[in-house]
């Protein structure tokens, strides 16, 4: 049976990109119906949307004849999910206050389905306190946001506010639909960010990891309907309050929290955990000597512990290898030594990807020398592709078990 998606297109210059999304979804045997806001018709025509979707296009107005055929209640019930893309600041504001002033708003108000929002607007509009207040209201009411991403905007300014790529939007909603095909619920554990190993009360050893890649993976798992826990080290990320997040500082704290979180079906160790810890001094070390001696002690290996934990070993264990040279060689060695199922390797010597960057480029290495590269993209898109591959793995296993 076909999945069904209702796409609401609002008035943004990014609206033309949705034509590619509709084409991709229809090619994937998904039935698509669309509603155009009045201002959306300044960027795409009902005829172009109808010809690509192969369905009637609805306009944002109450029409007695149209309602008789498909009113706001039945149209909202028809869809398996609703996507608003691109979503302007105006529509976000209207949804947040529970507006029922037109056809689109009444559909959203009457819907009992998952609603995804892909914002597109000027960076200052997105950062405006009123917009962010509306976004938080919607997140607390289980609306799922896809993006926005950062980059050069149509207005010529640079920053957050650009609509996520068509590929990412497609991955997110496809992953959600895939999850609904499973005969069982899945649970996941993700580690992210750096750890801090304190030398004294004010000094520590750490690394440049921002935690963004691991956070994006956890968010995409959660958006796919998987019960997900994120264990994350010190960071400056603005994170989704609906996600189950545990904040830790040291490698040992992360290790203990991971032990408490088992069993799960999926474990993804994306954190840049310090390999060695330090016996912390109780007081700040004074600058009295030319040299001081610091003794390091090897920390527990979280990935190895999870991979070799026979009683509670997850069905899929994925590690990350952040390398500066011999990327594949060291990642292959880590895959073998840690007994995990997949290793995701990336080059952290590059300034444009990896640590403290908005983008990444990775290669997934599986057992039996299977390689799968994900080209350079926003970390959110990298996460979407990775989660899609994870869901395909479980979907294939689920289907094999039924045969």
Annotated catalytic residues are 155
DSSP state of 113: S
Angstrom CA distances, 151 to 144, 161, 373, stand at 21, 8, 23
Crossing angle of the two packed helices 379-402 and 212-223, in degrees rounded to 10:
40
Say which residues have a Cβ less than 8 Å from residue 365's Cβ, sequence separation at least 6. Answer: 328, 331, 332, 335, 342, 343, 344, 345, 371
C-beta pairs of 36-41 under 8 Å, 24+ apart in sequence: 36/9, 36/60, 37/8, 37/9, 37/10, 37/11, 37/91, 37/104, 38/11, 39/10, 39/11, 39/88, 40/9, 40/10, 40/11, 40/12, 40/15
Angstrom CA distances, 305 to 48, 252, 300, 313, 337, stand at 54, 13, 8, 9, 12
């Amino acid at each position: 049976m076909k999945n069904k998606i209702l796409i609401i297109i609002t008035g943004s210059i990014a609206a033309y990109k949705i034509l590619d999304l509709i084409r991709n979804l229809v090619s994937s045997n998904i039935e698509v119906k669309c509603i155009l806001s009045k201002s959306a018709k300044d960027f795409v025509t009902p005829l172009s949307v109808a010809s690509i979707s192969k369905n009637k296009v609805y306009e944002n107005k109450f029409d007695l004849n149209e309602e008789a055929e498909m009113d706001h209640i039945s149209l909202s019930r028809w869809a398996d999910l609703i996507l608003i893309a691109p979503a302007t600041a105006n529509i976000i504001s209207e949804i947040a206050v529970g507006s029922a002033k037109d056809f689109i708003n009444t559909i959203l108000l009457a819907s009992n389905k998952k609603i995804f929002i892909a914002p597109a607007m000027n960076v200052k509009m997105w950062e405006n306190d009123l917009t962010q207040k509306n976004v938080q209201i919607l997140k607390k009411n289980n609306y799922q946001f896809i993006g926005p991403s950062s980059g050069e905007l149509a207005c010529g300014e640079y920053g957050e506010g650009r609509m996520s790529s068509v590929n990412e939007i497609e991955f997110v909603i496809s992953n959600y639909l895939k999850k609904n095909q499973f005969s069982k619920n899945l649970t996941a554990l993700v580690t992210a960010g750096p750890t801090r190993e304190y030398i004294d009360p004010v000094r520590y050893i750490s690394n440049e990891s921002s935690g963004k890649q691991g956070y994006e993976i956890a968010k995409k798992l959660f958006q796919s309907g998987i019960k997900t826990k994120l264990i994350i080290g010190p960071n400056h990320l603005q994170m989704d309050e609906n996600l189950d997040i545990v904040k830790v500082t040291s490698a040992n704290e992360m290790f203990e929290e991971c032990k408490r979180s088992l069993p799960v079906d999926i474990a993804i160790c994306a954190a840049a955990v310090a390999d060695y810890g330090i016996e912390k001094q109780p007081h700040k070390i004074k600058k009295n000597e030319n040299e001081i001696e610091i003794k390091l002690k090897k920390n527990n290996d979280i990935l190895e512990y999870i991979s070799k934990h026979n009683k509670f070993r997850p069905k899929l264990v994925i590690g990350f290898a952040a390398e500066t040279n011999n990327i594949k060689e060291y990642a292959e060695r880590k895959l073998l030594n840690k007994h995990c199922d997949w290793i995701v390797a990336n080059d952290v010597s590059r300034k444009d990807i990896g640590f403290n960057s908005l983008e990444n480029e990775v290669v997934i290495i599986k057992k039996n020398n299977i390689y799968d590269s994900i080209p350079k993209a926003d970390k959110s898109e990298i996460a979407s592709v990775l989660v899609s591959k994870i869901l395909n793995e479980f979907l294939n296993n689920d289907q094999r078990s039924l045969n």
